[in-house]
Every structure is written in C-alpha cells, then in structure tokens.
Structure 1
Amino acid sequence: MRKMIQKIVMIGAGNLATQLSLALHEHGIEILQVYSRTAESAKELAGKLDCPFTTSVRKIEKNADLYVFAVSDRALQEILDKWSVPIGNSVHTAGSIPADIFENYAENYGVFYPLQTFSKERKVDFSDIPVCLESDNFKLRTDLIELAGQISKSVHLINSEQRKQLHLAAVFTCNFTNHMYSIGQKLLAEKNVDYELLKPLILETAQKALQLDPVSAQTGPAVRFDEEIMNSHEKALKDSPVFQKLYRFVSESIYKMHKGK
C-alpha cells in the first residue's frame, strides 16, 4: 500500500524533532531536509537521517508532502513570519497552540502532537506513545491518521481545546513531578545521602498511579494532615523558603482534595 505521506521536512532539531524524525525515518518515511536556526543541531540530526540541512527559511525544500514544525511556541510564529510563499501541508507538534496559527501561511494544516517527554539522548518506543491529531481538512486528517499509525498504536483525534487541557495535565503529571524529583535529589545531596535510595520509591509511585486511582493511591502526612510531622518538615526547610512554601502549598492541596473526595 502506498504511503500517503512519503517526504517530510522537519522544522526543528530539538528533543521532540529528533525522536520523531528518527521514528518516522525508521518506518520508511523520507526526511527530505532538516531546518534549524542552529547549524550544529541541524547538522547533528541531518547526519543521523542522512539528509541535507539548512539554517535559512528561504532554503527550505518546497516539494515536501508534509512540513512538521517541531519548535518552541515562540519560534513557530517567528519562522512563519519569515515564510515568503504559502506552505504546503503543515502541522505543528505543540500542546497549547491552536491549529489555525497556520491559517494565513499554509494551504492545509493541522496538529501532530505526541504526548510524551523527549530527550535527544534517550531513544523512545513510539509504538505506545499517544499521538493526538487535529485537522479540518479531510484528506490531510486521513493522511495524518495513516502516518501516525505507522509509528504508534495509540492515535487520537482531539480538538485544540482538548489538547490544551491535555497539555496542562501533562505539565502537572510530568514537568512538575520531575521538578519534585530534582528537589528530592537536592535535599539528599545536602546531607550526603545517595539519590539512588529514592529510585525504588519513584518506580513504585509511578506503578501505583498506573494501576490504581491516583487519589486513592495517595499516602503521606498531608493526607491525614499530620501537623506534627508537617511542621517538622517545614522547620527542616527553613533555609529554603521556596521549597518550604511549596511543601506547605502542596500539602494543603493534597489534604483538601482528600477531604472533598
């Protein structure tokens, strides 16, 4: 069966752009070109894909089946403003930007949003990553479904409002959680305690969140509002007022959620 989208230009060479383009490349999709404002990152990714790269918007290939804009929210608008001719089929990979940002720039457009945290150095298995799609154009939407289905078993059509809420939930679930790991690591380092000791706890917490309802799985002094322990913890954070405030605020949030369930 002929692949509806066979040639892609990757706009961006960061974490998501790297992992997405490598996954597409492994499934037989040709990455015609990589664009990045930074020559070093563009060259690095293009080398892995065996394709040319450019740092000039004007030199981006014009005959691609799809242009994937995997860049920061701010960079997306800046790049579009430099585009001198209408773009062909275009998608962005952002969680909070509406699809119609392309309205005055592209013929057909949409969103190709893989819901995962990405790093250049860590290869991921795309087969289980939810890919959330959006497009008002029937043919492009069909093509995106076919394309996403080649790399993932979890393909979903969601609108911009739903995707924005999903991105917000992902920030709490991923970014904020990882920040808590960073705080834990820092607190341990202050007393010369090995961060490795927390890793089994991190794994079990994640497994419980997958197997149980997260609210029901919640444990710790904040659930029962054990003021003696909480006051002791806050006192231990007296030299870190930001962490102390965060501890108090999150503890109150946990207690209120459980009190009202």
Structure 2
Amino acid sequence: MIKVVLLGAGNVATHLFEAFQQSNEIDVVQVYNQSKNRLRSFKERVSTTTNLKELKKADVYIIAIKDDAIEKLSNQLPHTDRLIVHTSGSVSINSLSKHNRHGVFYPLQTFTKGKEVNFKTIPICLETAVITDYIILEKLAKAISQAVYNINSTQRKALHVAAIFVNNFVNHLYQKSNEICEEHKVPFEVLHPLLLETAQKALEMNPLKAQTGPAIRKDQKIIESHIKNLSTQQQKDIYTILTKSIQETHGNKL
C-alpha cells in the first residue's frame, strides 16, 4: 500500500483525497494545511496538521496548492530524500527543493468543490527525475485512473496552455453567450444541444474539419450585422478577434 501525505486542502487536494480514499492500494496518512479552518472537512476522516514538523512518514508527499506557493513550501519541508511531487500544470519539476527526490503528479481536469468527478477517466501526467520514483507514481496514478501519461515539464507547460484554451476560454465564451441570451430574454438552455454537439464533434473528428459558421463561409454581411447588434465593445472585440482567427486558420483573410 502506498502511503500519501497531502499538502493542501483546496479543490485539487480535496478531489485527490476522495479518489485515494476509494482505492485499496492507497493510504492517505495525513493532510496538511497552514489554516485550521481549511482542515475542518478532513478532521473526522484522517490525521491533520498545521505544523510541517509534525508531518508523518509517507511514500509520497503531494503538494496541491496554488502555483506561486509551491517552491516556497517545497523548501520548507523538514525532510531529505523523500519523494515530493506537485500537481501543477505549469510549474517545472525543477522548482521543487533539491533536498528531496522530486516529481509531478498532474491530474488534467477542472476541479470545483462539491462537483464530483470520475477520476478513472481523468488523465494523470507524471514526471520524475529517476525511474524508480516514476514506478511509484505510476502505481499511485493507476490506482485511481485509467489514463496515465509520461509528460515532461516542457510538454506539460504546453498542455496546460492548450487546456486553458479548451476549458477556461471556452467557458468564458459560454458566459458571454449566456450574457447575450439574458439581455434578449432568451433561455440559455436553447443552446444546450448545440453546445453538446459541438463538444462531441471536437472529440470525434479534427476540430479543424468540424468548423462551421459565417466566418469560415466568409459571409461578410452576416458578420457585420452580428457585430453591429452586439451591445458591448467587449463582445464586439471578441467576435472580431475570433472571426479573424477562424478565417486566417482556414486561409480566408478578413
């Protein structure tokens, strides 16, 4: 059984904890966070601490906190020669303290407290400095997921940027679409089948081939009409930038 200490109590740490709890191959021996309040939801289920000097012995210590705090916490750990990993998509493996063995355990998914996810389908991207540590992380990852990948720091950084486009940016466009619907008293749910079909096509075929709409058709009258009828400059700018990007991608300059 792999013994794990979780360092953090936010979205990623919480979801990892729940996934680990469901595996017979993993024993979460402790959860650390500097705030007692953040540890309340763990207290009845696992040992907790706010003191790094009280960390229990484990096979893997997983740092699941905000990116800009990872390096500092890594250097504060009172250990040597332990396997310390972080869960970030954008932080290099080399940001971790050189006093310990280091690696990356990056679950590529959007996490929100209270929203359950199926970890079996979540890609987990692994990286270590030495092969023996990779074997440990691979066993840990495969205990909760069926999609495990060996991804180095350069690849992971690019993957994280791609994830921003497919998740955060797309969700922002959903919000803008909802904003337009609310303004004109149209229920956003009318667009749900289109939203789902677009996502399904992106999974089943190359997104380049799946592109439709006035931009790729170079229907300039419709494009100008849309821009004219949008109510805010931000909406107009987004529409114009994305239209130009579509047309340039498909060889039709504005």
TM-score where L is the length of structure 1: 0.90
Query: CA–CA distance in 1 between the matches of 2:190 and 2:38?
Result: 36
Query: CA–CA distance in 2 between the matches of 1:184 and 1:54?
Result: 44
How well do the aligned residues superpose, as a CA RMSD in angstroms?
Answer: 1.7
1:166 is matched with: 159
1:39 shift after superposition: 2.7
1:85 shift after superposition: 4.2
Q: Aligned match of 2:30 in 26, 29, 33?
A: 33
1:58 shift after superposition: 3.7
1:243 is matched with: 235
Q: If each structure's helix is expressed as a fraction of its own residues, which one has the higher value?
A: 1
1:88 is matched with: 82
CA-to-aligned-CA distance 1:22-46 (integer Å, 9 cap, x gap): 1111103221121223333322144
Q: Aligned match of 2:221 in 223, 228, 233?
A: 228
User: What letter matches 2:168 in structure 1?
Assistant: N
In the alignment, structure 1 residue 78 sits paired with structure 2 residue 75: no
Structure 1 gaps of 5+ residues are none
User: What letter matches 1:88 in structure 2?
Assistant: R
Structure 2 gaps of 5+ residues are none
1:149 shift after superposition: 1.0
In the alignment, structure 1 residue 23 sits paired with structure 2 residue 19: yes
Query: CA–CA distance in 2 between the matches of 1:56 and 1:218?
Result: 53
Query: CA–CA distance in 2 between the matches of 1:87 and 1:57?
Result: 16
User: What letter matches 2:234 in structure 1?
Assistant: V
Query: CA–CA distance in 2 between the matches of 1:82 and 1:254?
Result: 48
User: What letter matches 1:159 in structure 2?
Assistant: N
CA contact (8 A) 1:16 1:118 kept: yes
2:116 is matched with: 123
In the alignment, structure 1 residue 192 sits paired with structure 2 residue 189: no
Number of residue pairs aligned between Structure 1 and Structure 2? 251
CA contact (8 A) 2:5 2:58 kept: yes
User: What letter matches 1:137 in structure 2?
Assistant: V
2:52 is matched with: 57
CA-to-aligned-CA distance 1:104-150 (integer Å, 9 cap, x gap): 342x1100111111111111111111111000222111111111111
Query: CA–CA distance in 1 between the matches of 2:34 and 2:239?
Result: 40
CA-to-aligned-CA distance 1:148-185 (integer Å, 9 cap, x gap): 11111111111111111111111111111111111111
Query: CA–CA distance in 1 between the matches of 2:42 and 2:183?
Result: 38
TM-score where L is the length of structure 2: 0.92
CA contact (8 A) 2:86 2:105 kept: yes
CA contact (8 A) 2:71 2:97 kept: no
Matches within 5 A, 1:93-112: 93-106=87-100, 108-112=101-105
Stretch moving more, 177-186 or 84-93: 84-93
Measured at CA, do residues 192 and 105 of structure 1 come closer, stay the same or move farther in structure 2, by a change above 3 Å?
Answer: farther
Measured at CA, do residues 55 and 191 of structure 1 come closer, stay the same or move farther in structure 2, by a change above 3 Å?
Answer: farther
User: What letter matches 2:176 in structure 1?
Assistant: I
Q: Aligned match of 1:140 in 133, 136, 139?
A: 133
Q: Aligned match of 1:217 in 210, 216, 234?
A: 210
CA-to-aligned-CA distance 1:174-225 (integer Å, 9 cap, x gap): 1111111111111111122211111111111111001111011011111122
Query: CA–CA distance in 2 between the matches of 1:193 and 1:40?
Result: 42
CA contact (8 A) 1:33 1:46 kept: no
In the alignment, structure 1 residue 157 sits paired with structure 2 residue 154: no
1:84 shift after superposition: 4.3
1:11 shift after superposition: 1.1
